[in-house]
Amino acid sequence: NWFPPKSERLADELKPYIASYGTINCVAIDAKGDLAGVTTTSGLAFKLSGRVGDSPIIGAGLYVDNEVGAAGSTGRGEANILNCGSFSVVEFMRRGLSPEQACLEALKRIVKTTAYQPHLLGADGRPNFGLSFYALDKKGAYGSASIYSGHTFAVHDGAANRLVDSPYLFPRRD
């Protein structure tokens, strides 16, 4: 995520390319109790040649253990890769945490390891990027969490669709 240099203004004609990317994660459980997950990404515009995000890396952008749960993420892939983020969420659920608690714990680990990368920190010492996790356990309980406030996630419980506010570690910067 290096384009454009901070010292330059972004040309108006490039703004749609920069602003229209994103990752989608979906985790599900079927009527037999089998779990599945998928994470897709359109990637970053103007990324470094050869960059691979976290989506295709098992345990980073997505992890499913049919005995425990499934988890995926959106946000800064490099931070997720360094922490095996989705794998960590599932392992926290294996230890008995709820999906929401597991997501929050994985984010705390990411914030802690980011502290050793000053170029990724804002003036307040917090990460200058966003990351969210989404999780579902074997019993059908679900949860999500984000580094910063203001995120929602979609849930379909077999009867209806709805948006749910994501718990977060820090209030969003204005």
Active site residues: 23
Sheet of 69-75: strands edge to edge? 62-65, 69-75, 131-137, 142-148, 168-170
* Residue-wise DSSP of 112-159: HHHTT-GGGB-TTSSBSS-EEEEEEETTS-EEEEEEES--EEEEE-SS
Secondary structure class of 69 (helix, strand, coil): strand
